[in-house]
Amino acid sequence: MFFKIRVFFLSCVMLFSLHAVARADLIPAAPTINAKAYLLMDYHSGKILTQSHEDDRVEPASLTKMMTSYVIMSELKAGAIKMDDKVLISEKAWRMGGSRMFVEVGKRVELDKLILGMIVDSGNDATVALAEHTAGSEDSFVTLMNKYAEKLGMKHTHFANATGWPNPEHYTTAHDLAILTRALIKDFPDHYDLYKIKQFTYNKIPQFNRNRLLWLDDRVDGVKTGHTESAGFCLVASAQKDDMRLISVVLGTSSENARESESRKLLNYGFRFFETFKLHAALDPLTQMRVWKGNKEEVPLGLAQSLYITTPRGRRDMIKAQMTVDSTIVAPIVKGHEYGHVDVKLGDEVIAERPLIALEDVAEGGFWRRTIDNIKLLFQ
């Protein structure tokens, strides 16, 4: 029978200083946001700083193209398509209404240019052409979109097309859009750089990014706008200040100005009153634990991914972390297998929990090592 032992480590020390408490007391309530739904998330830690109606079903409009983009980059990474492919423009793509890149039917256009047309200009014609090239038809591409959404954990999302054209079966939530945005930045950082491009020209026609925060706020480097009469004016924004990145989702505002001002309210609130820091890096040893019956006497335990913590400003010194580790660890040890967990607390509240994994394999020891350890374990 295995028991658990608790081991405390001093990555952070709980210091209830008067200064820290005073700073924490100054943190106000989140601002009032005039939108159908909204959410503010820290990118590194995934902590939600404020939200409202975050799981209500909403129409995503052209925010859909973030998922289209994610699928295309995934298929590029898998080698199913290539960036220098020449994409044939179908009549369906050419006839698309709404925002357009103005590609011509029957022409072949480089895939990388169509990606810019989809991201910068939100071109519906470019988007359909990309979907058809990637999966054979837009309907088949939509199947991929929903499979990737399920894989990412977007539990309240269903796509019916690649563009965001209104459809009763085409919906998502503010929370799911934040999950998608975080994955887009994390999984394809080079591709994400395209979202901060303000303008490009195709066929001598200037194409301008509809995200006006790129001009208004130097911290903002993405992501996407959306608008239909039924969805209202929507904006998913991401901004970075020093080592902190925030993701804001604002859905169903009344105008372009409103979606920008409400997004800035959220971003300003997050940067002003919260901070994010790395508590421990991925794969760094947190402790060495005794191994029984192995060809080594100890195994290092650590985290599979870096652990970031977001706290209100002034409360960083109030963080404490502790490990709970299996007291009896017997070889063979498999690298990556869980042998305990780390809890991070702010006061009495657990704000993060992560598994402790073995950072090395440890094979079984020889006959004498196993025999001696068996005897020792009888007396433990």
Catalytic residues: 62, 65, 122
Closest CA to 15 of 315, 312, 308: 315
Q: How does 135-167 read in b/e, with b if 16+ C-beta sit within 10 Å? A: beebeebbebbbebbeebebebbbbbbbbbbee
Nearest 5°: phi and psi at 140? Answer: -65, -35
The residue among 156, 114, 161 whose CA lies nearest residue 251 is: 156
Give dist(CA 340, CA 331) in Å, integer. 16
DSSP state for residue 97 in the 8-state scheme: -
- Around Cβ 217, how many Cβ atoms within 10 Å? 16
Residue recorded with tokens 């519906």:
124
- Which helix (H) or strand (E) is 5 found in, with range? strand 4-9
Contact by Cβ (8 Å): 239, 218: no
What would the two tokens of residue 13 be?
């020390």
Q: Where are the beta strands (DSSP E) in 118-186?
A: none
CA 235 to chain centre: 16
Instruction: Tell me how far CA of residue 285 lies from CA of 2, 92, 299, in angstroms.
Output: 22, 56, 9
- Of 301, 291, 300, 299, nearest in space to 369 by CA: 291
Query: What is the rounded CA–CA span in Å between residue 245 and residue 217?
Result: 14
Residue 126: Cβ-neighbour burial (10 angstroms; 0-12, 13-18, 19+):
buried
Look-up of token digits 């490990």:
323
Q: What are the E-state strand segments in 26-107?
A: 37-42, 48-52, 86-88
